[in-house]
Copies of this chain bind each other. A is one copy, B any other.
Amino acid sequence: MGDKGRASRQAGGVVACVDCPLRHQAAFRQFAPEELAFVTHFKAGELQITAGTDILLAEHNSAHLFTLLRGWAYRYSLLPDGRRQILNFLLPGDFIGLQAGLFDAMQHSVAALTDVTLCVFQRSELWSLYREQPSLGYDLTWLAANEEALVDANLVAVGQRTALARIAYLIVQFHARLEGVGMSQHGRFAFPLTQQHVADALGLSLVHTNKTLRRLVKLGAVKVGGGMLAIARLDQLRAIAGLEEAKPRSRPIL
């Protein structure tokens, strides 16, 4: 899955955390000055990764942790027989590699879906974060719990919903998350996933994913094309997915 990659570390031209454009998005909580100071110190640099490249590998452990600054990524795991399950998608503001930081070997891999920019943190500094800035430790737990909640929701979708409902669910979820980080305008947003990604995330075959997505389009619920997705009728999508409306939570960002 991750291949052809090329990664370059940037020395200069790095965004200071105070000026981080993400931080001003609606979704994120405000940081106190000393928290911001610590994060700035914690941040070791930035990393650019090309679309399709792996960021972290299962079975390995990494000296770094990341926050996704720009672009899309996804966590996935491969079975011995080659099948792939995408565990969830990562959007700007998401923390990457908590498991890598806490365990000695990752259980899954993380790959860049699009070209991606990452904030890099030293794993070795993680402990000092808890010691010196407990509120950030609390935030990390929060992020871990939040990500678990996402996976929970995916499991519910894959375990209980029909193909049509799963795809509707995925779209509604993307919409909500992208809204939060200002990447959706009037229900319209960039959609860099290939149908194979959708299939692997929802436990469906590629062919059936195609047919079902097509059906969703014919139903008039969404429009897709040119790497964009537009939600035509959000209520209809929610109904198909069997989803209630959910209010987003204000979240931390490291």
Residues of A within 8 A of B (CB): 75, 77, 79-81, 83-85, 87, 98-99, 102-104, 107-108, 127, 130-131, 134-135, 137-138, 140-142, 144-149, 151-156, 158-161, 200, 202-203, 242, 244, 249
Contact = CB atoms under 8 A, between A and B. Distances in A.
Number of copies of chain A assembled together? 2
Contacts of A146: 102-103
A154 B98 CA distance: 19
A203 B141 contact: no
B203 A159 contact: yes
A36 B141 CA distance: 21
A79 B142 CA distance: 25
Which of the listed residues A77, A85, A244 has the most CB atoms from chain B within 10 Å of its own CB?
Answer: A85
A193 to B, nearest CB: 16
Which of the listed residues A79, A135, A145 has the most CB atoms from chain B within 10 Å of its own CB?
Answer: A145
16 contacts: A79-B160, A85-B156, A85-B159, A103-B149, A103-B249, A108-B152, A130-B138, A131-B134, A134-B137, A141-B144, A144-B144, A144-B145, A144-B148, A155-B155, A158-B158, A159-B203
Nearest to A144: B144
Contacts of A104: 249
Nearest to A131: B134
A13 to B, nearest CB: 32
Contacts of A80: 242, 244
A134 to B, nearest CB: 4
Shortest Cβ-Cβ A-B pairs, 3 listed = A159-B203, A144-B144, A130-B134
Contact of A98 (B77, B141, B153): B141
B102 A141 contact: yes
A197 to B, nearest CB: 13
A145 B87 contact: no
B145 A155 contact: no
